[in-house]
Chains A and B, each alone.
Chain A
Amino acid sequence: MWTGPTITPETPSFAANRTAMLDAVAMLRDLEARTAQASEQRRDRFRERGQITPRGRLARLLDPGLPFLRLHSLAGYLADSDDPERTLPGSTFVGGIGFVSGVRCMIVVDDSGINAGALSPFALQAVLSMQEMALRQKLPFVHLVESAGANLMNYRVEDWALGGAVFRNLARLSAAGLPTIAVLHGPSTAGGAYMPGMSDYVIAVKKNGMAALAGAALVAAATGEKTTDAQLGGAEMHASVTGLVEYLAEDDTHAIALTRDLLARLDWNRNRVAPARPAFAPPRHDPDEIAGVVPADLKTPYDARELVARIVDDSSFLEFKPDFGPGTLCLQARIHGIAVGILANNGPIDPAGANKATHFIQACDQAGTPLVFLNNTTGYLVGTEVERAGMIKHGSKMIQAVSNARVTKITLYVGASFGAGNYGMCGVAFEPDFLFAWPNSRSGVMGGEQAAGTMGLVARAAARRRGAEVDEQKLARQDAAIRALFDAQASPFFTSGRVLDHGVIDPRDSRKVIAFCLQTAQEARARDLRPNSFGVARA
């Protein structure tokens, strides 16, 4: 029987937990800041060209004060360099969901302060992820373009082959009834030229904005023609000769003002019906305490209700079947006034827990209640007893329910997320609307320790079969190698770097992030678009 949180800032483990969590958050912020600083180092170069920096553009584009959900800030972590001290995650663009003139938009800002905006590893996957999210959440797509395009020094054929999806997505967004807007702050050549080409609206900055299938250098190499970028594809040329540019801007700030003006003129919210949203009370237990509530060591169990009490309105929830499969929690609550069904784990998922979760997911789907999955599970329970109780069958039901539930799904990795438990708790493959990880979380098929232990037992068994001596030294090396292999890939920084989530967040922001995601999805579901077959053709 839950009677409310028992952990307080005075609880002995609180301070140490908090220190460990804030260290993990600091690592996240340091990585984000490192990339931002690398970009802002070029500030003087931007100024010389009469430009403002990519982050300056974003800051001016967004409605001040309205929330911004950053996405994929760690994309490419350790992919550009295997040195954790040198890698620049999220270096190709700064993006997320924000408001422009009151319009909730998907925004991508090329980070031309780093490698001139050239595509870094996994940036393509991140852009595709954001385009798909825009389509699903019915968000107009705003792209501030200034990119050298593909990095020829690191050419990978799959980036070229799959990169076309960026343009396919633009076409589909437009056809779905979602305006696509490209702002040419700088060059957009080769494949990048289709960025403006495929957008419904193009704003270009005089002198700096440029779009061409090949820049002057490539033209000279290919045909010997001597020309200039301005003649090939300058903003002014496109505005008057090709019609590729709708609006000419004097400079970056003007381009952003034009973009804001354009969004305002869409009158995008004219039919928006504000959802009836009751006034809500903040949690009675401060979300800031989350940092100290969650144990630093994932192996230390904690009651997920301590966390939920610090996320939901008024710290109030109703527990569904509390005494049946108690290791799996199903809770009814509200977050910023929006009713949600929360699934959380107090341990592995057993047959009863899987059954309960299946029932709960289907009931929420029936009522149209969004689902929030707070992952902290080592997976489905194993052993003779549970196998004989039909663990496979019950787990499958849960995975089936998660896969096919039509309601909004939001997943947070708040601790462990291992094995098929990740599937049942709506991991990345189950396409939650939004998926964020805490910086202390871990995910994978199993922990490095378990993997190493399993492989150790297999090796010993094999040795026994052969009647050979166990080479303990070799086994120890194997054990260490397996642990390293698993643990490195279990880190949320690594998985986020591989675009296996939408980003890593500060655990203390969980309530706000979930609220923003719920509002975004709710707005999308209430919005009627005007889809057409082919999108808006560029005249």
Chain B
Amino acid sequence: MTDRFDTLLVANRGEIACRIIRTAQALGLRCVAVHSDADAGAPHVRMADDAVRIGAGPVKDSYLNAEAILAAARQSGAQAIHPGYGFLSENADFARAVAAAGLVFVGPPASAIGAMGDKAAAKRLMIAAGVPCVPGYQDAAQDDATLIAAADRIGYPVMVKASAGGGGRGMRLVETPQALPEALTRARDEARNAFGDDTLILERAMIDPRHVEIQIFADGHGNVIHLGERDCSVQRRHQKVVEEAPCPVMTDDLRRAMGAAAVAVAQAVGYVGAGTVEFLLTDTGQFYFLEMNTRLQVEHPVTEAVTGLDLVAMQIAVAQGEALPLTQDDLRLNGHAIEVRLYAEDPAHDFLPVTGRITGFAAPDLPGLRIDAGIATGFEVSPYYDPMLAKVIAWGPTREAARQKLVAGLTQTAILGLPTNAAFLHGVVAHPVFAAGEATTGFLRDHGPFAQDDVALTRRMAMAAALLVRDQTLRAMALAGFEDDDLIGFASDGGVPRPVDLVIDEHRHALRVRIDGPADWTVEGGDDASTWRHRVHLRDCDGMRARLMVDDRAEHIAFACDGGRIDLQAGTCTLSATVDRPWEGAAGAAGSGRVVAPMPGVVVALDVAPGDRVAQGQTIAVLEAMKMQHPLRAAVAGQVSELATRVGAQLASGALVAVITPDEP
């Protein structure tokens, strides 16, 4: 059997690399990780049996660098490559190159990838195969006039998509004919930047359908089955936020019909391995083919949870020439599973991706709960990659049981050091519409905001200040060799409260902490107009988990503290505070003429030139970061006195873009 292999190279990073390595190692395979410079200490590298550096941080130098990955396989003796998702997973040329190098590609044949990679061609193929498709335009002619005419024919609202796109990238909803020309321009730019191909397709935009996808699996012996569906309707800007199996409105008949269609799609392209066929499902039970993802999906764990199968193990078996371990009739769906994706992004700032160090990470150990993470305490979230930190997957015998478990899982998963969308996710899964199983793709648009504020800010500030002071006390005790707890907090004149000046989300809070003992504090805050006060008692503390009493109510929290900074999570609410050191103060208050990059990214447009007059709020430049285009606007009206960057430049967070000399008031 030429397809057998004992060493598998995982050409990916983050949680999916960890997840693949876990199964592969359990199967007895030797696993080789590849990594960029930014990921040298990443969890997937630490888990693997062997690791090879493949280049610098930017993806084009590392995880998209096919030659480096093939060289790594040669160097490490790997006989097979698992591409994970994203990166090179749906790159037919890469699949071909792997095969040409005499290695096994754990994925579909290059031809199938190619057939589905071009959305326009794929759609034409599906129409020919009799699979129901969304009415649209998917032909070769790409001039504006043709596209505008096609859009008129399809009817507004219309969806503009990059033909080479996937995962929601390069998609634009256009409501009116007037908005179409600009949308085409921007979509082409984005498609060219992201995929190197600016071919677009148009589709009629369905009004708030459900996004339901069928997991299919095919082997090299002609067997194709489906493993049921996943409902991924809860999406923000076409990015999946929550995924579940089964779909809350699924019926046996509908599953059979959609499953059959999905199998037909796979057969039409000679598919082998794991794949996903995405459909839009209307409230009348009509479904339309959307696209096929020729890879393992991010959300595959919910299918694993309800089928009891290990999809990665099946991928490896199929890649080694084995037949599928089950037939369609063997498939049993058991219970319900829901997954959410934890991202390093700041809900308080329009979900902008954030980077920084994870000061603490801890996953709960609950039956029925699965955390797939690619992070660890001390890990640096770099600007180069997708900001997904972890997935929380909850299983229960019923949907409600799974949902409850998920809330517990989210609450008990501690990620400290950067803002995350945990509170937002909590709010989503706790929402009555979601709880009722009625969420469609319009859910987030119609029902926000979702952020949970389950632990009031003043309580969080009180805990943060108390634990920060405790940390300082412990450090001083260590320095002093002082071990007498009975004297902690003692001052023979009664003492004065400790001033603790914290900076939280760029606001300064002057707090006062009275130290009542080694585990007791009274924290006061507020201003002259209104003050607040909480008594904080630390009951016990085990690593980063702590149980406290705040006034008369218990709080179970996670925290990390280094004397000058504290990160804290209570429920899904987080708080990060630094001790104010104003003398180190950075210049540049709000309303400055300095336009800086708010996050790391690439400059994709510069809309002004030196000497230009700009109005307040005018777009100066467009920064692409983390799949999004962010306009950078002038905070003041004035004259552009300096342009400090160029189109195509990669900027670090805080890098100067332009300087505007403000108009005299």
- Residues of A at the B interface (CB closer than 8 Å) are 29, 32, 36, 55-56, 58-60, 63-70, 73, 96, 99, 101-104, 249-251, 253-254, 257, 264, 269, 272, 274, 277, 282, 336, 503, 505-506, 509, 512-513, 515-516, 519
Contact = CB atoms under 8 A, between A and B. Distances in A.
A253 B515 contact: no
- Choose among B480, B489, B582 the residue with the greatest number of A CB atoms under 10 Å from its CB: B480
Contact of B492 (A249, A254, A257, A513): A513
A67 B488 CA distance: 6
Interface string B487-513: 111111111111100000000000001
Nearest to A251: B583
Q: Which 3 A-B pairs have the closest CB atoms?
A: A102-B479, A65-B473, A63-B476
B478 A64 contact: no
A133 to B, nearest CB: 14
Given A59-B499, A64-B472, A509-B492, 12 more contacts: A32-B494, A36-B496, A59-B496, A65-B489, A65-B515, A66-B477, A101-B479, A102-B478, A103-B479, A249-B583, A251-B582, A506-B492
Contact of A64 (B469, B484, B494, B581): B469
A25 B592 CA distance: 56
Nearest to B489: A65
8 contacts: A58-B496, A63-B476, A66-B476, A66-B482, A73-B493, A264-B479, A513-B492, A519-B484
A70 B499 contact: no
Given A63-B473, A65-B473, A96 B480 contact: no
A64 B491 CA distance: 11
Contact of B499 (A56, A66, A104, A251): A56
A56 B469 CA distance: 16
B491 A68 contact: yes
A505 B490 CA distance: 12
A36 B494 CA distance: 12
Contacts of B496: 36, 55, 58-59
A345 to B, nearest CB: 24
Nearest to B493: A70
Interface in B449-486: 469-470, 472-473, 475-484, 486
B270 interface: no
Nearest to B482: A66
Interface residues of B, number: 34
Contact of B491 (A60, A67, A103): A67
Nearest to B476: A63
B518 interface: yes
Contact of B583 (A69, A253, A282): A253
A101 B472 CA distance: 9
B486 A282 contact: yes
Contacts of A96: 492-493
Contacts of B490: 67-68, 509, 512, 516
A96 B469 CA distance: 21
A272 B492 contact: no
Contacts of A64: 469, 472-473, 476, 498, 513, 515
Contacts of A69: 491-492
B509 to A, nearest CB: 15
A254 B478 CA distance: 24
A250 B488 contact: no
A277 B480 CA distance: 15
A405 B494 CA distance: 33
Given A264-B479, A269-B480, A515-B484, A59 B583 contact: no
Max chain A Cβ within 10 angstroms of own Cβ: one of B482, B498, B581: B482
A3 to B, nearest CB: 27
B499 A277 contact: no
Contacts of A66: 473, 476-477, 480, 482, 487-488
A509 B605 CA distance: 70
A102 B476 contact: yes
A280 to B, nearest CB: 8
Contacts of B498: 59-60, 64
Given A64-B473, A515-B486, A519-B484, A70 B479 contact: no
A505 B482 CA distance: 23
Nearest to B585: A250
A102 B472 CA distance: 10
Given A63-B473, A67-B487, A70-B491, A99 B497 contact: no
A251 B584 CA distance: 11
A272 B481 contact: yes
A205 to B, nearest CB: 10
Contacts of A70: 491-493
A516 B482 CA distance: 11
A277 B472 contact: no
B486 A59 contact: no
Contacts of A59: 496-499
A516 B487 CA distance: 8
Contacts of A516: 487, 490, 492
Contacts of A99: 476, 480, 482
Contacts of A32: 493-494
Contacts of A103: 479-480
A512 B491 CA distance: 9
Q: Which of A68, A503, A509 has the most CB of B within 10 A?
A: A68
Interface in B534-579: none
A98 B469 CA distance: 16
A509 B487 CA distance: 10
A11 B662 CA distance: 79
B493 A65 contact: no
A503 B482 contact: no
A65 B469 contact: yes
A253 B481 CA distance: 26
A277 B515 contact: no
A264 B480 CA distance: 10
B421 to A, nearest CB: 34
A503 B494 CA distance: 13
B578 to A, nearest CB: 14
B238 to A, nearest CB: 49
Contacts of A269: 479-481
Contact of B487 (A29, A60, A515): A515
A250 B170 CA distance: 51
A56 B496 CA distance: 9
Contacts of B481: 102, 269, 272, 274
Given A269-B479, A336-B486, A65 B491 contact: no
A240 B338 CA distance: 67
Nearest to A258: B583
B487 A102 contact: no
Given A59-B498, A63-B476, A251-B582, A68 B492 contact: yes
A58 B498 CA distance: 9
B473 A503 contact: no
Nearest to A269: B481
B263 to A, nearest CB: 67
Contacts of B478: 102
Contacts of B486: 282, 336, 512, 515
A149 to B, nearest CB: 26
Nearest to A69: B492
A260 B10 CA distance: 50
Contacts of B475: 102
Nearest to A40: B496
Interface string B518-532: 100000000000000
Contacts of A272: 481
Contacts of A282: 486
A251 B581 CA distance: 11
B510 to A, nearest CB: 11
Contacts of A73: 493
Contacts of A254: 582-583
A196 to B, nearest CB: 21
Given A250-B583, A512-B487, A516-B487, A68 B495 contact: yes
A66 B518 CA distance: 9
Nearest to A512: B490
A505 B492 contact: yes
